[in-house]
Structure 1
Amino acid sequence: MTTPALDVAVLPATEWRARAEAHAARADALTAAHRERRSRRLTHPIEDFLYEYYGVRPARLRRWHPGVGVALAGTADQLGERATWRWTHATVGGAVVLDVPAYLADRGDGVRWLHGLLARTAGRPAHLGCLGLHEWAMVYRQGAHRHPLALRLGQAGTDAVVESHPVRCTHYDAFRFFTAPARPLNRIQPERATQLDLEQPGCLHANMDLLKTALKLGPACPGELLLDCFELARDIRVLDMRASPYDVTSLGHTPVAIETAAGRAEYVAQQRAFAGRAEPLRARLLAVTTALLGDAAA
């Protein structure tokens, strides 16, 4: 094996093993409720969304990676199975590090797309005030709904809210779940091909999707950053459902009534706060893709 072209920082075994243990404990705490429900074959319409939609697995969350450009020193016993993980590269001295050329040979196209998405989203102003109407548009004039929760205003009341407010969803992966009657009501018609042109940092789902980006980056993403993105997505999901047409009081949450002036103000304030939390995480993910791509990132 050859030494990777980019400079690497080498962590001694005492340091990285402590970080890995702390990461696993943090991941276990974050997934405890989900794992307990799963053992009893129960589901939660808010908290289990990340596992279902993003394909998150607790075991994957607890596996710590140092990220691109960081090598782990140690004996064969200390490194254990890490030395055999995919895209692992052995440096002089026996330390292991992400083999960037091998990684990019398999994931390069995806990394370049994610880099463009992160950079272009970060470069735009945050647009607030969509009021979470994407969730309302997903049940507009629909007899059956995907969550086993009653509609807070009933079907007619829900439809009236959609029809009386401007729908301006920019996120393709939310828009594609709109009901057929709701699609023409959206002021924009997002497509996968236009995602790089439309994604903006105020969008709740764009900020939730930082978790998807971290997962797609796999071992190139530091474990701590992955869990930070998971926590952000978890918290955003709560607002997403509190502001939805579903009655979430049975789940212990107070609805954000976006059909009222007070509810709209609360939603915008929380949306702004989440955009603020997402900004440094997006920058950290962009630093990962920049390190992977090197000069090509420009």
Structure 2
Amino acid sequence: MEVLTRAEWHERRDAHVDRVRRWTGPHQERKLRKEKHPVLDFLFTYYSHRPVRLERWHPGPGVILEDATEYADIPHYKVTAQGVTLDEDSFREARGKTMTFVEALLKATLSRPARLNCFGLHEWAMVYRQTPEQVRHNAWPLRLQENTDEVVENAKIQCGHFDAFRFFTEDARPRNALQPTREGQTENEQPGCLHANMDIFKWAYKLEPATPSELVADCFELAGDVRELDMRASPYDLAGLGYPPIKIEDPQGRAEYVRQQAEFAKRAEPLRRQLIELCEELQAGGQRGDDLVLTVLPHGTR
């Protein structure tokens, strides 16, 4: 077990809070102004992890915090003679099914090659044959206006991610080469999928407080970067917000999309592996020696 003095864990906590406030601060300011952001709001609305939860620091398993009475009443922590630490037995009892699912999903995703031929058409399928009033981000114009539907009709849509597919319009769903389901999620997800890579953040916070917060923040940062590509390749004209379009209707735009998609797949791999390692460590029943088995990569490591 690693024992952190109050000064040591305060330093790690404060560094984490400073890091994530570059996202939570502007989001909360926009919320006060009742100002919507079509790119960044997704990280706090589609995902259920509130800013205050993202800012809260957790050390992860195998760490004892000295003089940390403020953690004593947080679910799945326990007080020991040395300090406060994660109550792994309590966590396993409450989250065992979640851990099993997350581990299986992430391992299955890693076992497959990245498929890089979707070109972000899921966002186009979400506005297919909709009126301007029906479009989700209708405060922002569509780049191609009435020609948006033609992009869908002239393309081969191959979305395998259920949580993207379920937002397709009724007219767009039959045009998808795949018909993903919630039950088939483990069989369908692959590491090139933008939504699967954004969802690594979801699986990280679903395992809190066992997930070290530095890892949660790494997953959140990846999700934010992927979301930018997602919306730059979308049918919306967001240049006024500082997001120049990636024109996936053109060969050059498709090539740029694939290049960035492949880079995100590489960035996602070590994060998936760390979450798998976390699940395996927790499922093992907390049998570890003096050294912490789980290794959390430092921020910035790829």
> CA–CA distance in 2 between the matches of 1:204 and 1:198?
13
Determine helix, strand or coil for the equivalent of 1:288.
Answer: helix
In structure 2, the residue matched to 1:196 is 186
> Residue type matched to 2:250 in 1?
T
The aligned residue for residue 261 of structure 1 is: 251
Amino acid at match of 1:81: E
1:284 to 274, 281, 294: 274
Identical positions, percent: 52
| 1:10 aligned partner | 3
| TM-score between both structures, scaled by the size of structure 2 | 0.91
Given the superposition, is the C-alpha separation of residues 220 and 295 from structure 1 closer, same or farther in structure 2, using an over 3 Å criterion?
closer
The equivalent of 1:164 in structure 2 is 154
Residue-by-residue CA offset, 1:167-218 (whole Å, 9 max, x unaligned): 0001000000011111111111000010000100000000000111111011
Match of 2:293 in 1: none
Within 5 Å, give how 1:58-77 maps onto structure 2: 58-72=51-65, 74-75=66-67
2:99 equivalent among 93, 105, 111: 111
In structure 1, the partner of 2:17 is 24
Name which of 114, 123, 126 aligns with 1:126.
Answer: 114
Q: Name which of 139, 152, 176 aligns with 2:143.
A: 152
Q: Which residue of 2 aligns with 1:84?
A: 73
Higher helix share: 1
Report the Cα offset of residue 13 of structure 1. 2.6
SS at match of 1:34: helix
Pairing of 1:28-39 with structure 2 (within 5 A): 28-39=21-32
2:241 to 251, 266, 270: 251
Deviation at 1:12, TM superposition (A): 2.8
Q: 1:112 Cα shift?
A: 0.6
The question of whether the paired residues in 1 share the 8 Å contact of 2:119 and 2:254 is answered with yes
Equivalent position of 1:100 in the other structure: 88
CA shift for structure 1 position 295: 7.3
The residue matched to 1:33 in structure 2 has which SS?
Answer: helix
Q: 1:220-242: per-residue Cα shift (whole Å, max 9, x none)?
A: 11010111111111111111000
Alpha-carbon distance in structure 1 between the residues aligned to 2:23 and 2:242: 18
Structure 1, unmatched stretches of 5+, are 1-7
Count of matched residue pairs: 283
SS in 1 for 2:184: helix
Q: Secondary structure at the match of 1:97?
A: strand
1:4 corresponds to which residue?
A: none
Name the aligned partner's letter for residue 213 of structure 2.
G
Give CA deviations for 1:27-53 in whole Å, capped at 9, x if unaligned. Answer: 222222112111212111111111110
Over aligned residue pairs, what C-alpha RMSD do you find? 1.4
Corresponding residue for residue 40 of structure 1: 33
- Give yes or no for the alignment of 1:52 onto 2:38: no
Runs of 4+ that moved beyond 6 A: none
The amino acid across from 1:60 in the alignment is R
Amino acid paired to 1:154: Q
- C-alpha deviation, 1:263, in angstroms: 0.2
Alignment pair present for 1:240 and 2:230: yes
Secondary structure of 2:136's counterpart equals coil
